[in-house]
A and B are shown apart, each in its own frame.
Chain A
Amino acid sequence: MAYIDTLIDNFDDNSINTSLWDVFGSSFVAETGGELRFNIPSYQAYPSIKSKSAYDFRSHAIYFKIVNVGVISTSDNYSYIAFTEDNDNGFELLFCNHAVQAWKKDSGVWSSLTSPITYDSSQHIWWRLLCTSLPDRLMISYSPDGGSYTTVYNGPWAVDPTAVYVEFGAGNDGAGTSSTFIIDNVNSSATYSVGKSALYKVSTIAAKTKSAKYSIIGDTTTQKAASYELYIDSTAQKTAEYVVTPIVTTQVSSAYSIQIDTSVAKGAGYNIGYTPIIEKTASYIVPAPEILDYSVLKKLKIGASFGPVTSVVLGRVPQNDNVVMSSDPPEALGVSSIDVGHDLLTVVGHGMSNGSIIRLRSSGDYPLPLQPDTNYYIFANDNPDTFSLAETYADTITETGIVPVYEFGMETLEAGSAPWSFDSVGTVSGFATATVDTSGQVYADNSIAFEATAYGSAVAEKTLTAGSAYGYAGVAVTIPLIWTLGDNEYCPLVTLKDSTGADIATLAIKYDSGYVLSVWVNETATWLDTGIPVDTGQVMRLQFGVSIGIATGYAKVWKNNSVESSPDYESGAINTGNLQIQKVCYGLSNIDYAIDAYYMDNFCYNTSFIQNLTVTGSSIDIRSVGSGGISIIGLETKEVQVNNNQLIDGDRQAALPNLYANLVGIGWKEVEADTVGLGWHEVGDVVRFEQGDVVADGFISEAHLVFDGSIRESLVSVIPDVTTTDYQSAGGILKTLYNTEIKVDKQENDITSIVSQQSVYASEVQEDFTEVYQNIDNIALTIQKSGGGNLILNSVGFAKESATDAGSTSYEKLSFWDYNSGYDVDTNGTAISYTSSESQNAGGTSGQVIELAGANIAITQRVNVAAGEPLSIAMRVRNEVGDGDATITVSNDHESFEVTIDDTVDYDWEEIKKENFVSTMPWLDITIAVTNATKFRITDLRLLYGDTAQNWMQASSEMLSANVQFTKDGMKISDTVHDTETQVTYNEFSTRRKSDGLTLFEADDNGVITNDLTIKGVTNYHDGDKTIIKQITIPSSKSMAGVAWIKVV
């Protein structure tokens, strides 16, 4: 379906274009003086014009000019512009009672979109209605000059924007007065009102240039125009060559015309100069690259590629500006489904964000308009599993240009062949004249002709059987018509029916004045948005017919818009019922009745004049949709670094987004080419080189032109020097940005020196820096070291010690954690720790968990912190539904933060964190408490300095594992082979057997040896001044036991 901005009419030919408009109340509507006028009489009348076709509004806009709104001083007179989906759904701009107001009609119920706005004839001249997409939103704006628009409504779209009819009209309910409503320039003001300001600038420069005698003014003018990225029409340019004095705008306006058709546009930086044009026309311009092929090339060499750029970094590093590339593209992700109604693709857990670039892969066909080897930009939404696609990065930012993914491939149907099959031709009856040709040979290949005489009884329709699954079905037909009588109303129809024969939708090919004998008229209608689901084996019916009982209607249907130049149809019978129908049509007293669906229902089907003829066998186009075999792939990282730029170093964060939007997605190839001497290329031009199917986009970095009797031109496109950075192998750090800078502010009389390192991890950014700030009064030093040690000791329970509870029950206590006051294992519960591969599989780092179970157990650790410094706490927890409540509390006398684990929610090692909080006191208590817990597990508990929670790490004063534990209190080694545990502290050195707690060796600071202490050697002899003792045993039986070594001189 054509977009709304293709509905163009400047009303300049003084004849209403009946191929665009249906006219109702034609005696009151006239195209006069280059305008469309509704001449409302002093009696009741409701003239209007309505677009013959519906238009697709999505991401497109319509604008028009109201030259004279007419009499709107009472409710008896009004003017309006309506946009309708059908009889019961639409919206309109209503001018009435001195005001303009937007209304919508939803399922037949009217409601206001805006409040009444007092009509201002000096301001409310140009109107623009724009549909943004995803979600579809409607913007209604006005402008006094077609330049700067003021928006009066920006809200939800009022109807289905995919098929909208446009209607202008005015009325007098009988109590009003005569009036004239004048409109003009429906999507057609570009040349006049759009280019005027830019035109003046170009023209002014032309006037200042004095090179006329060499016929260079025109060239200079066009050269100047390049700076505006505008192309001066060559014919008009000739006229302008003789303009050598300061000129008035109007004079040049008539001499120049500015072409905004980018297919003929020349010059650089189109988007700059086109910006005002785009704004004023609500249009979208995609520049077309210049293409050089063999016809103008002498030599062509294509090399390596650069891009597309996927990321931009502003850095300050001790190296020149450069470009860094990094590979390792992500794995392809399968598209599980496509929501054609909302242009959404589903890739579960795709993890992408707005602006991410992807390409498509498919094991089969690609759903049109999506193409392989083409960059698409992700437009994410709140659902992490779905996204839409846009063709440019800018579109993802402005929420426009969403690719309508439902527009899938056109599939040509051949009569009687897969994937659709047609039943037999059968016998056509009930017609005075009827012939059916299914041979496809008579008129054109792939054609089927039918001849309809709208006189007689209807015949049964034929069926179509789908051979494959299709998402949606539709019809695109071209019908050349010939009519035996002039000035008759006719309305050929194509009706799609379901398997039961019920009408689903009907497409009226044309409804307008007829044509005289032997005049062929092509009536093309595309009907693609039926929204009809089609499954394999489903039977559909397609029916062609002629709607009214008039003269013989002949229609021929074939694909590819191929039309016979010398048709040999003959005329048929005559029916005069059309006169009565005309009265019905024009006699409608309510504008709503002019909405097509209602009109067709009541006019075409509920009258006795309807006659249908079935076509049997044809070639039509059916759209298909499917997601099978389609996957998306992210692009390799192609990073542009702009380093050491003095201008934007002061605030790189502010500069980066703008730059990113401009650079992302670009890319080109290394090319060397010699042309035949074209001579207009400059460095920076983007040129597409083609050799057969090989296409290379080049970014001209060198251009050489030689004139020495002939013209020779060489163009060189080089790609930037690149450095490959394997971010993936950089210890988990994806990228690190270093910054060393000294900022001197002479106005503020201060100096700031910064040394920073910013590391980007998979999901977090860590920035360490030192900053020295010096002014006349003092020097301030700031140090931020994010990450570092965990402030919680024994945070996952590696360290344990034997203890006895209040009930004298021995238990294994988690070191550094305090338990409930009067802790009793039986009463309160247990707190144990153990290794857990399960937690690691779920993303945990330590592999060690603390498990709390019981009626009421709480473990607490007081942690010393720096007051006023940002802190973050994080952990992973597992708690199944019904396992009891748990709370993790961080508190002191002033602050308290609490995380509650609800036993009605299932936690599967989910990471819980609270970031960027501050303690006003130099300590915090970390408490983990459970009530009625079956099994609450926690791992990777950490309290860290910094405003973001880093990965788990141990405290800086400890080194803990399952068997070896160094803490601030000493060392403990667990030997599972010999079932021993050896501990060294400041006052103890001991070894115990773990199974029964038997002390095998122990020394403490009481001077008491509780076991025999033996020091063993390998021999026992005296050697000069040394005495070698094989073994010394200090018995433990005597409290005063010991050994003394006395030196004997």
Chain B
Amino acid sequence: MITHTATFENLAKAPVRQTDIVVARQLADPYGYYDGEVIWTSSDYLMSVSIDAVGAFLGTATKKATVKLLGIVDAAASGDIFQVRTGLYNEDPSVSGYEYISQGFFIVDTVEYDYEAGSTTVTMYDHMWSAQNTSYPTGAFAFPTTIYGLAQQIAASLGVDLMEGFDALPNATFAIDSDPYATISNATLQTVLGEIAAATGTIARISDTTLVFYQFRLNESVA
């Protein structure tokens, strides 16, 4: 789950809520991402935002954000990166305004202009989608390596961080002597991430700009 504070949780469960949503273009520098000048909020351009995430056990999860803007807005292009934040207003006077959580970082895929309706729809996906659309770069990764090492190389090629603690996952140190995908023509980075997830008993997903392999974990009982 997206990490959040107890305060946010209480605000979300409150019978009366005041919500906000922010979609902000992200610029990158060596220290990470920061907000650019293009920032859409629910008080100006944003008509609606929907976020859909789909994934599979021992596979990968991909997140899609569909942002509908009021008017013809030509400030986004394919490849741009936006962060979507959702906020809840905190009535406590000792704190300032909205408390936000990040719904993730998304890469613009398409921008559709509806001149008749006067709206712009920006469709964006997270970095997993980028992995899905990136053919496996034969020869780009170093072998022999381990599953951990391969995950690190893929994360780097996608421009995301690999989660801390990957080395504690099952089979993280499993040795891969040679490139197993060298002779597979239709493999993508997502294919490899899915197989890493299967090999480590996890589900691979992108949380903001971190590639996370999430273990199924509950108390051991089954309803």
Contact = CB atoms under 8 A, between A and B. Distances in A.
Interface stretch (A568-576, A591-599, A662-670, A927-935): A662-670
A220 B86 contact: no
Nearest to B218: A686
B43 interface: no
B47 A708 contact: yes
B195 A711 contact: no
B47 A647 contact: no
Interface string A619-644: 00000000000000000000010100
B55 to A, nearest CB: 4
Contacts of A216: 85, 100, 102
A699 B184 CA distance: 32
Contacts of B192: 647
Contacts of A287: 217-219
A682 B205 contact: yes
Contacts of B97: 215
B214 interface: yes
A745 B4 CA distance: 48
A289 interface: yes
Contacts of A696: 223
B174 A648 contact: yes
Interface stretch (A205-213, A502-510, A610-618, A988-996): A205-213
B223 A683 contact: no
B35 A684 contact: no
A394 to B, nearest CB: 10
Contacts of B180: 646-647, 649-650
Interface string A666-678: 1111000000111
B31 A210 contact: yes
Interface string B190-202: 0010011011110
Given A219-B101, A268-B1, A682-B1, A307 B169 contact: no
A308 interface: yes
A210 B171 contact: no
A214 B216 contact: no
A271 interface: yes
B53 A682 contact: yes
Contacts of A210: 31-32, 34-35
B2 interface: yes
Nearest to B181: A646
Contact of B31 (A208, A213, A227, A649): A208
Given A215-B97, A648-B199, A305 B222 contact: yes
B181 to A, nearest CB: 6
B219 to A, nearest CB: 6
Contact of B218 (A228, A676, A688): A688
Contact of B96 (A211, A215, A271): A215
Given A223-B207, A289-B218, A642-B198, A680 B4 contact: yes
Given A210-B32, A321-B58, A708-B47, A227 B218 contact: no
Interface stretch (B69-77, B107-115, B159-167): B159-167
Given A215-B98, A682-B61, A705-B103, A697 B222 contact: yes
A222 interface: yes
Nearest to B59: A321
Given A209-B34, A227-B164, A710 B61 contact: no
A658 interface: yes
Interface string B43-80: 00011111111111111010100000000000000000
B interface residue count range (under 10 / 10 to 19 / 20 to 34 / 35 or more): 35 or more
Nearest to B12: A678
A706 B48 contact: yes
A711 B50 CA distance: 10
Contacts of B48: 706-709
B21 to A, nearest CB: 5
B101 A305 contact: no
A375 interface: yes
A1015 interface: no
B165 A659 contact: no
A299 interface: no
A224 B223 CA distance: 32
Contact of A321 (B19, B165, B198): B198
A259 B41 CA distance: 33
B12 A676 contact: yes
Nearest to B150: A647
B103 A679 contact: yes
Given A645-B195, A683-B53, A268 B212 contact: yes
Nearest to A702: B54
A272 interface: yes
Given A208-B31, A662-B201, A268 B54 contact: no
A763 interface: no
A321 B46 CA distance: 41
B170 interface: yes
B201 A663 contact: yes
B5 A222 contact: yes
Nearest to A395: B220
A273 B166 CA distance: 10
A267 interface: yes
B193 to A, nearest CB: 11
B10 to A, nearest CB: 10
A321 B59 CA distance: 10
A707 B34 CA distance: 23
Contact of A225 (B3, B17, B24): B3
A684 B201 CA distance: 12
A218 B100 CA distance: 9
Contacts of A655: 171, 174, 199
A701 interface: yes
Interface in B2-41: 2-9, 12-13, 17, 19, 21-22, 24, 31-35
A295 interface: yes
A648 B216 contact: no
A238 interface: yes
A211 B34 contact: yes
Nearest to A650: B177
Given A650-B176, A658-B171, A296 B13 contact: yes
Contact of B171 (A223, A227, A286, A648): A648
Contacts of B134: none
Interface in A259-295: 264, 266-273, 275, 286-290, 295
Contact of A220 (B6, B99, B102): B102
Contact of B35 (A214, A226, A373, A699): A214
Contacts of A668: 218, 222-223
A766 B119 CA distance: 66
B13 A226 contact: no
A686 B215 CA distance: 10
A735 interface: no
Interface in A82-134: none
A238 B218 contact: no
B221 interface: yes
Interface of B: 1-9, 12-13, 17, 19, 21-22, 24, 31-35, 42, 46-59, 61, 63, 85-86, 95-103, 147, 150, 161, 163-165, 168-171, 174, 176-178, 180-184, 192, 195-196, 198-201, 203, 205, 207-208, 210, 212, 214-223
Pairs of residues from A and B, 9 with the lowest C-beta to C-beta distance, nearest first: A683-B55, A658-B170, A683-B61, A662-B201, A272-B165, A708-B48, A210-B34, A646-B180, A234-B5
22 contacts: A224-B208, A226-B210, A228-B164, A391-B220, A642-B58, A646-B181, A654-B174, A662-B215, A663-B216, A669-B223, A676-B13, A681-B1, A682-B53, A683-B54, A683-B61, A684-B216, A697-B218, A697-B221, A701-B54, A703-B51, A704-B53, A705-B52
Given A707-B19, A708-B49, 5 more contacts: A220-B102, A222-B101, A224-B210, A688-B218, A697-B221
